[in-house]
Amino acid sequence: MSAGANTNSAAMGPQDQSPPAAKDWRAACDTRIMICLAGRAAEARARRPDHNGWCRRMDERERVSWHEAGHITAAAVSTFQNGAAIEMVGHRYRGIAAHSDVALPEGPDHPSFDNFDLLPRDFVKATAYAQLVVGQRGWLAYLRGLWHRTDALLGENWLCVKMLSLELQRTGCVRRDRAQQIIDRWCGVPEASLVEALKREQRGA
């Protein structure tokens, strides 16, 4: 795992009296939901206007790359990421990212598009987890809260998201070891741009 914001802490108030096992279970659900939300959250953050009002305009390949980079970054904070890939099918791009709760020392080092069309969509998975945690009432508010936490997590590791996105755009596939190199190098770096980060390192040298 990589250094960065800790998504394993449960989203509960200081007066919560739930037993430890229940807190751990809810924290695990929070993590899974945030990983599901991280793709769309990364897209939204990438499109957000900067302080000059400039907005990024993306083509489909770039949009999908940002999406999968968000998933990898959120997954790497509290699980074991297993890379990501994008590909064009017809006139559209699609992407996939993988992670596991346990380390993956052997086997494929990047996700496969096999049975891709059978996989549930991110929001479907997030909604199912949210309803499992809080029931049919209140799940949307619960998701909104986790969306803000996810956006904050990505913001704290934005340069990592950016570097993963660029790698995906360049190569179409970021294997586990390469993704981990980027995560270890850039996760937790406070600057939002590579130029700012390198300037800080030069000043500190």
Note the pLDDT of residue 195.
75
Is residue 150 within 8 Å of residue 37, measured between CB atoms? Answer: yes
Low-confidence ranges of the chain (pLDDT < 50): 1-15
Is residue 72 within 8 Å of residue 174, measured between CB atoms? Answer: yes
Note the pLDDT of residue 17.
55
Note the pLDDT of residue 19.
60
Please check whether residue 44 lies inside any domain of the structure. Answer: yes
Note the pLDDT of residue 21.
67
Note the pLDDT of residue 20.
63
Please check whether residue 5 lies inside any domain of the structure. Answer: no
3-state secondary structure of 139: helix
How far is it, in rounded angstroms, from Cα 69 to Cα 95? Answer: 10
Is residue 13 within 8 Å of residue 48, measured between CB atoms? Answer: no
Please check whether residue 2 lies inside any domain of the structure. Answer: no
What's the whole-model pTM score? 0.84
Domain that holds residue 92: 20-204
**Could you report the per-residue pLDDT of 36-72, keeping only the tens digit for each?**
999 999 999 999 987 788 888 899 999 999 999 999 9
Please check whether residue 3 lies inside any domain of the structure. Answer: no
Please check whether residue 132 lies inside any domain of the structure. Answer: yes
Please check whether residue 15 lies inside any domain of the structure. Answer: no
Please check whether residue 8 lies inside any domain of the structure. Answer: no
> How many other C-beta atoms are found inside a 10 Å radius of the C-beta of residue 126?
24
Note the pLDDT of residue 1.
27
Note the pLDDT of residue 201.
74
Domains in the chain, number: 1
Please check whether residue 12 lies inside any domain of the structure. Answer: no
